Amino acid sequence: MNDTIGNRIYRDGTADLLKGVAVLFMIQVHIMEQFATPDTFNSTIGKISLFLGGPPCAPVFMAVMGYFLAKSARPLVYFLKRGALLFLGGILLNTARSANLLVRIINGEFNLDPWFFMMGADILTLAGLSLMVTGILRIGLKNKAILYFILALLVAAVSPLLENIGSKERISSYVFGFFWRTGEWSYFPLFLWYSYVLTGYAFCLFLKQIPFAKKIDLQNHFIYFIPLWVIILLTLPYAAGISGNLYGRGGYYHHGIIFFGWVLLFMISYLVVMKLVDTYYGDKLIIRSIKWIGKEVTVLYVIQWLIIGNIATIVYRSQDILQITAWFLAVTTATILGGFLFVKIRKVR
């Protein structure tokens, strides 16, 4: 996520800003999903929360990841090792964030399947698999941007056809759930969500290879994107409906190619806005703080899930809107402080 010039390392401020905002949206939507009463969850505020935790969140994370993978000159062995560690780390995080619940299951307080919570296909497991697959694809596809984008479309298109394959047996359903939808625990399976990694990868290559792309000055040419913003606004009710349907077939976690296309248009318009914000206000304290959050995204992702996941066992779907707001402020503060402390300790070591 860095560019090196001479002996100095320059970070991409817009990328950090995108990730930082996504972390904040992610915390609030996790709290809404886990803590909110059904009335709050299904309210207008709940739908807004789900949308903010939708297109501007996971798709952005994965697209930014793909973008920087295209910049990486690491060998295949790095992609495989790093990917395997992330995947195993995802399983460990699933277990740790559900520790309170798992203890109660063992003690007989809840009659629930522990594997449902330990084997969920979440962002870290998706990132791990994406790294490994990308490392292999690079060997054959080289730097042909159009091939990565076509593959992204194909992955999005065929994903619904793979649903429930291998889901008859419990063990196989959890294993295959990391690759495609086999149940509610398949939150971010490789098929469909790898499409966003491929899109980010292709976007980076396009910027390198298309001459006019380097000449676009957003400060002077942002007006050209107004028609796109109008389209996004006019189709927002459609997108909000998908984002508000988390678990159903064709819902947010398992959407099809049409919503995938909408999200791509959204991300282009969103990227333009964030680029302008970083250009004009990137040195302001609040923006610098959000970019720091984006820089430490993995650490903060883990911390917020450890907090939210274990508290959810106690307050699951019992909190009203005022309580949800208080929880968001408290969890966000604790997450940032925890991340700051971790970074300090890491530097000392």
pTM of the complete model: 0.93
CA distance 67 to 215: 19
What does the pLDDT read at residue 220?
64
Average pLDDT over residues 136-152: 96
pLDDT at position 224 over 90: no
Which of 78, 71, 54 lies closest to 131, judged by CA?
78
When mean pLDDT is compared across 146-150, 292-296, 345-349, the lowest value belongs to: 345-349
20 confidence band (pLDDT: 50, 70, 90): very high
CA distance 148 to 323: 44
Percent of the chain exceeding pLDDT 90 equals 84
163: alpha, beta or left? (left if phi > 0; alpha if psi -120 to 50)? beta
pLDDT at position 5 over 60: no
Sign of the C-alpha dihedral computed for residues 270, 271, 274 and 276 taken in this order: negative
DSSP annotation of 187 reads S
Instruction: Report residue 108: phi and psi, to 5°.
Output: 85, 10
